[in-house]
Structure 1
Amino acid sequence: MTDLDPRLLEMLVCPVTKKPLTYDREAQELVSEAAKLAFPIRDGIPIMLVEEARKLDE
């Protein structure tokens, strides 16, 4: 499991809401609470496509 570079996390925002993301290390996802979406991280690369995101349960 690869950690995400903190500098990268500072630059990335949710593509839907433009709000900050939270890094879920265990799930390897970037979570947008505002959009209720979790974007996967594959091989250390965040996949910031809405169609690739997992919807969070409310």
Structure 2
Amino acid sequence: MINQELLDILVCPKSKAPLTLDQSAQELVCETSGLAYPIRDGIPVMLVTEAREIGAAARAQEKL
């Protein structure tokens, strides 16, 4: 899927914060901005307009 080297350099385009990989949802998640960026065909789509907003409850659930 996404290798660790790429994950280490990718940041959220909105907040510039690091991203975490949610393999089950095929998304890169930014806890700071509350956005989840989709991964399509193994390629992260790093556009704010394509990101899904995640609420505080969803972010807390992802930490478990």
TM norm structure 1 = 0.92
Structure of higher RCO (CA pairs closer than 8 Å, 6+ residues apart): 1
Cα distance per residue 1:1-38 (max 9 Å; x no partner)? xx211111001000011110000000000000000000
TM norm structure 2 = 0.84
Moved over 2 A (4+): none
Q: Is the helix fraction higher in 1 or 2?
A: 2
Percent identical: 57
Please tell me whether Structure 1 or Structure 2 has the larger radius of gyration of its CA atoms.
Answer: 2
**Any unmatched runs of 5+ in structure 1?**
none
RMSD over aligned Cα atoms: 0.6
